[in-house]
Amino acid sequence: MGFTPRRFLGVKPSKALLLLPFMLSFMLVGSQGESNAMDNVATERLAEASHRQDSANLLIFIMLLTLTILTIWLFKHRRFRFLHETGLAMIYGLLVGVILRFGVHVPQSLSDEILNCAVNASPATLLVNVSGRFYEYTLKGEVSRRKGHQMQDDEMLRKVTFDPEVFFNILLPPIIFHAGYSLKRRHFFRNIGSILAYAFIGTVISCFVIGLIMYGIVSFMKVVGQLGGDFFFTDCLLFGAIVSATDPVTVLAIFNELKVDVDLYALLFGESVLNDAVAIVLSSSIVAYQPAGDNSHSFEAMAMLKSFGVFLGVFSGSFALGVATGFMTALVTKFTKLRDFPLLETALFFLMSWSTFLLAEACGFTGVVAVLFCGITQAHYTFNNLSPDSQERTKQLFELLNFLAENFIFSYMGLTLFSFQSHVFNPMFIIGAFMAVFVGRAANIYPLSFLLNLGRKNKIKSNFQHVMMFAGLRGAMTFALSIRDTATYARQMMFSTTLLIVFFTVWICGGGTMPMLSFMSIPVGVDSDQDNSSSAVLDGSQRRNTKHESAWPFRIWYNFDHNYLKPLLTHSGPPLTTTMPTCCGPLARCLTSPQAYENEYRLHDDDSDFILNDASVSSMYADVTVSTDASGSRTINRPSGTGGGPSDDGLDHELALAEHEVAIRGTRLVLPMDDPVDPPITVTLPPPPSPPRSEPRRHRL
């Protein structure tokens, strides 16, 4: 009996056997292609769903800011001052956080799988081999060991938790720059010695006082078994540096609205501006403390000196970088025709200012310090070179960015109280932290005020000291420093406690500002310009005492700034051809713009913002005085002498004028030279050496 093979699809058996492997390969490739296509479709769907989720998360914050703005309008309309906009933003953030934490549950995804892997460390990137194909996964953080929909809820809460670098690189720069750009330099430099003492010495004192108190509390917690992890003395000092950063935005807003005494405002605002810079550099120095040996938390003199050197190096390097960027922007705007294109001018100003922060961080310095002093430099020099449109645009732009960034941060604070997954709340540590914060603030204000009053003629009154003590709020900088590192048990406890401190100071201390001002009998309704004008009519002996109250280093600084820096970086001030030595004549002519010759004898109002005291205004700036009589005619008197130094006779003559005289420290008089309808103006000024102008101009006196 023989075997007869059947034909396979009309093909001989030998040929069918030969084609079978190729057909199987084709079928496998086709099925694999279909599998890849299905995987791609699933990936696209996941990406689309993630995009929608991210858009919804950002929409939550946009709606928070919108609701905050509408409520702020209602509060201002009703003159309700017991809750500031920042405290309101925190309340809305808390409400949204409660809803997201307890009211919203995300259904469990069937595609999620929990696999066990024996790995000792937590790699930042994980490559997973699935059927010969490698997939890359990025570490997001530790999640709880719960199963079911609660893990999906944790994932949803993590999506509304931003990367800490977002705060440092995007939200903090406009806040810090606006603080320096909007600084009232006249009152700031009049109290510069006291401000520097509070900001530098006071912050260091507060840091160590808080650190020592917290170390004692932590040691006691170890004894009684209330500490669940390591907490070293360096961690206590770092906590002291973080909570020493004051941000009295609530108090300052109320001060500005009520027109509180200008010296109190300048002391509190100046301290808060520089205090943030000192706190962040101090925290970086504490982190850089690395003693030799196995124990990295033991005390070592050389390591401490090295940290002190890091503090000085980082601060001075950041300061120099910020000032250099401001100088560069001033030179670009002076020697180019960018003012003919205000949009380009504003864009360049914005990018140069923001890049200062990123450049400092990239170079290993502190961007907060760099962008702060960049803002002060831009306001003092570059602002004079901008066109009028760009001047208004830059002020309004950074004011808007500051408002949005600040309210966004405070809204996020309230949300983080419920969205952050690694909170560590310890009642003993929290109570000790509140006590340490108030003791550290008192150790900053009262002893330094006593020492400063020994050398100040305008004393810091006791009620001013109490208000400064009460107004030591914590805000955006404290939050940003604490959230930047939450990897260890100690940092997580510090972050959770810092949130509660910020909530308490903003709501209780900020809300109690009005009663505090009334209780301390702080004068309100004080006009800074009127205050400056009234100081111009003092008697002879008081004038002499006020004139010599300015410290000699700042008189030297003024002469250098007025004779060299202002003419070099702006179109104002005396031309460099009149202040530089004769041998430098070609260089001086090259660096002096034609506008400088035209503006040689004109007063620029921004110059008067840099005054250290009120009595020496005219003599220090060699400015003019506009006298107005009863008939309305004006006469402009210019002191004799063209030198940059003070003139005692000119000072006495100007301060002895009648009360109808308008000193041009805070008043801008715009005299239209091409309008024949205005009253006649008598101007007694020597003709400028520049060629005659071809078109009428408006003089700002």
- The whole-number pLDDT of residue 206 equals 94
Give the torsion sign (CA, 356, 358, 362, 365). Answer: positive
Please report which confidence band the pLDDT of residue 214 belongs to, taking 50, 70 and 90 as the band edges: very high
Look at the alpha carbons of 90, 96, 98, 101 in this order and tell me if their dihedral is positive or negative: negative
Q: Sorting pLDDT into bands at 50, 70 and 90, what band is 426?
A: very high
Residue range 289-305, pLDDT digits in tens: 766 555 556 667 777 88
CB 472 within 8 A of CB 246: yes
The yes-or-no verdict on residue 612 having pLDDT over 60 is no
CA distance 366 to 317: 8
What are the tens digits of pLDDT across the range 145-173?
A: 544 445 555 555 666 677 777 878 888 89
What average pLDDT does the structure give for the chain?
75
Check residues 228 and 688 and name the one with the higher pLDDT: 228
The answer to whether residues 90 and 414 touch, using CB atoms and an 8 Å cutoff, is yes
**Structural domains of the chain, ranges and CATH numbers in brackets:** 164-291+300-527 (1.20.1530), 553-599 (no CATH)
Q: Report the range of poorest mean pLDDT among 91-100, 150-159, 276-285, 310-319.
A: 150-159
- Measured CA to CA, the distance from residue 620 to residue 605 in angstroms comes to 14
Residue 461 has a CB neighbour count (10 Å cut-off) of: 17
* Secondary structure element (H or E) that encloses residue 328, with its range: helix 301-335
Sheet of 681-683, strands arranged across: 625-628, 634-637, 681-683
Quickly tell me which residue has 């005659």 as its tokens: 692
Residues 460-486: what's their mean pLDDT?
87
Q: Under a CB-based contact definition with an 8 Å cutoff, are residues 473 and 252 in contact?
A: no
Count CB atoms within 10 A of the CB of residue 574. Answer: 22
Task: Kindly report the backbone phi and psi dihedral angles of residue 130, in degrees, each rounded to the nearest multiple of 5, phi listed first.
Answer: -115, 105
Indicate the residue type of 396.
Answer: Q
Q: What is the pLDDT of residue 503?
A: 92
pLDDT digits (tens, 9 = 90+) for 351-396: 999 999 999 999 989 898 999 999 999 999 999 899 999 999 999 9
Q: What does the radius of gyration of the chain's CA atoms come to, in whole angstroms?
A: 33
Which pLDDT does position 134 carry in this prediction?
74
Task: State the CB neighbour count (10 A cutoff) for residue 136.
Answer: 8
Contact 5, 13 (CB under 8 A): yes
Summarised one tens digit per residue, pLDDT across range 427-442 is 999 999 999 999 999 9
The residues, ordered by sequence, that sit 6+ positions from 696 with a Cβ below 8 Å of its Cβ are 673, 674
Provide the H-helix boundaries in 117-225: 149-159, 164-166, 172-181, 185-190, 192-196, 203-224
Find which of 223-232, 314-323, 692-701 is predicted with most confidence, using mean pLDDT.
Answer: 314-323
Res 603: pLDDT: 46
Question: What pLDDT, in 10s, does the model give residues 129-138?
Answer: 777 777 777 7
Of the candidates 157, 173, 175, 160, the one whose C-alpha atom is nearest the C-alpha of residue 64 is 160
DSSP states along 125-141: EEEEEETTEEEEEE---
Comparing 43-47, 167-171, 218-222, 517-521, which segment has the lowest mean pLDDT? 43-47
Residue 266 has pLDDT above 50, yes or no: yes
Distance of CA 488 to the CA centre of its chain: 27
pLDDT of 232 over the 80 cut: yes
Burial category of 347 from C-beta neighbours within 10 Å (exposed 0-12, middle 13-18, buried 19 and up): middle
Q: What integer is the mean pLDDT of 175-199?
A: 86
